[in-house]
Chain A
């Protein structure tokens, strides 16, 4: 299977997650309501969308870890004559590990998206918990902390004159997650987070 076909599976998870978070989410997520009633609400759809985005980020990160291993075996997984080339970046020993801890970037991505996913699932399970705002702020903080890392990796791409589509997909997932956490935090501060409580208060 072509590497871009596989990439489209990861991207599909992220795109579906984004759609769930938009006004289109009510339509594209209607089949989720029976299984997960909370997705009938805007909060539920945003959280579900964020779960899809984090899952997509996790799977694409796992894929880059696999590529890292395959390239170390001497194989070629995503090379080409165009600027879109993963081999030149994931296979480049100067750039393919996290400084100081010497572990592949893909592994860091897997850990990061798992942490984000844990935050989102916890909030989704207990949206009215005392710790919810802390969790949302932690998620926002973690995704903001990812920006300098993305900046470093993009600087490698600029230096080598190459773009790694798989890495870029993971970077985009982080940025979408950051925006989603911000939206959720704003939602929490408004009545949209728990409209039923608003009615009760009235």
Chain B
């Protein structure tokens, strides 16, 4: 009987201690939950685009490219100013679809960075991967120069960035808000979903060409001009 009594008291001590500790744990979690609004890292609309650093070809040579340098963390849907958006194309120099798309991507890059465009500037970057056949930096240089592209080509032949961005095929396009959140991803099952930074929720984009596929330019037209700012 005494043995049972001892056990009972021990159980009570453990139970009391557990109650104190669980209360402390949840109090801590609640404080953190009520004072912060975490955003997941990923490439779905509304997630924070994974940052990366690599070498990039700018037409003159290979230089260090830091994705963060393009971002404007203080940007908000109501902020004024000319914070640029970022269009990211994942491509392979040996991919037929990428070769076919090269001309229109080049045109978009010029159009959305020019003064003719009444929306905010869109910076284009191409991330060159190696999914099909062997590729090399000289192939990347040739691809860029032959298509007369003016934007940088990032070397991801080691497939480091492509893994972080969860890209399974080329070409795949992303539109990233100035603050680094993904606004649109062409690789989604339903690629017509865009991110509304104001309401913090996804919304359907309009398919202008009615081909059941949202092109990068359609996403740029609908997403970048959605918010207030001097440049718009």
Contacts and interface: CB of A to CB of B under 8 A. Distances in A.
A69 B48 CA distance: 12
Contacts, number: 78
Q: Binding site of B, secondary structure by majority: helix, strand, loop or mixed?
A: helix
Give chain A's interface secondary structure class: helix
B132 interface: no
Contact of A66 (B20, B36, B41, B73): B36
Given A69-B32, A75-B73, A114-B25, A125 B37 contact: no
Size band of the interface chain B makes with A: 20 to 34
Interchain residue pairs A-B with the least CB separation, the first 10:
A69-B36, A121-B17, A69-B38, A125-B13, A126-B13, A62-B28, A122-B17, A118-B21, A74-B73, A72-B39
Interface string A107-125: 0001100110110011001
Contact of B51 (A66, A93, A129): A93
16 contacts: A58-B24, A62-B28, A62-B32, A68-B38, A72-B38, A72-B48, A73-B36, A73-B37, A73-B38, A75-B73, A114-B21, A118-B20, A121-B20, A130-B6, A130-B10, A131-B10
Interface of B: 6, 9-10, 13-14, 16-18, 20-22, 24-25, 28-29, 31-32, 35-41, 48, 50-51, 73, 164, 179-180
A66 B179 CA distance: 20
Contacts of B16: 121, 125
Q: On chain A, which size bracket covers the interface? A: 20 to 34
Given A126-B13, A129-B6, A130-B6, A114 B24 contact: yes
Contacts of A130: 6, 10
Interface string A56-100: 001100100110111011111000000000000000010000000
Nearest to A119: B17
A198 B38 CA distance: 55
A74 B32 contact: no
A131 B51 CA distance: 50
B25 A111 contact: yes
B71 to A, nearest CB: 8
Contacts of A74: 39, 48, 73, 179-180
Nearest to B27: A62
B4 to A, nearest CB: 12
